[in-house]
Structure 1
């Protein structure tokens, strides 16, 4: 028996939503000192190759996802569900929205990065049909900063 997914009102982020979304990302432990989440939102909103989608239950923002593509592969960042509302299917709904956004732009493959210490999401992504792929990630700060973890 399949459980019905919850209904969320999903829309692109608006200016009045930015502070609440940043607060949600912080509550979910998704931000890092070297990344400015408000700047990430602003950058995503500049072009047509990315979007920050928010999910509302009633008027409350309960989930988000930043989705984008490089013209070849889609990427997901900042998948967040209000910690008090987890295990209700909101993460699955937001991932469906991200996948549909990418399909609508003609992108056929979605990838995402998970920090090695974030083991709690492994089963979630596997339940959505994602598989782990062994890759080595190289990174460089273009402003000359030292590498970050």
Structure 2
């Protein structure tokens, strides 16, 4: 794959559960078709390739046996004109398997930019920190994060 500067860069796409060379070739083909850039005319093709890659990733996750199988098919994103895999279903299936009470008590929100969709907030570290503190209390204030940090 070429970088913006023109230098070649390799991407390692190994199988999460082992797998054979044909699986690796399929992953490589899906990845390369999904990351292509171009004009608006190829956006539908690129979106279709991304969804195909998402579906493959969902099927591969299902083969790991970590959760109950989750249907790995694209679906509409509300009323918007593009399909998605709805990855929240895969995350929910994984969270259902967490049996540690302290971890299960943590809010399943991820990084701050996953629940704050505002560049005006994200470019202000103090404001971003304020939001994070509201969600994840500081260790001395109690709450699930305090318990996790104290047990390490």
Q: Which has the larger radius of gyration?
A: 2
Between structures 1 and 2, the one with greater strand share: 1
Same fold by TM-score greater than 0.5: no
Q: TM-score, normalised by structure 2?
A: 0.25
Structure with the larger RCO, 1 or 2 (CA within 8 Å, 6+ apart): 1
Q: TM-score with structure 1 length normalisation?
A: 0.25
Q: Say which structure is richer in helix.
A: 2
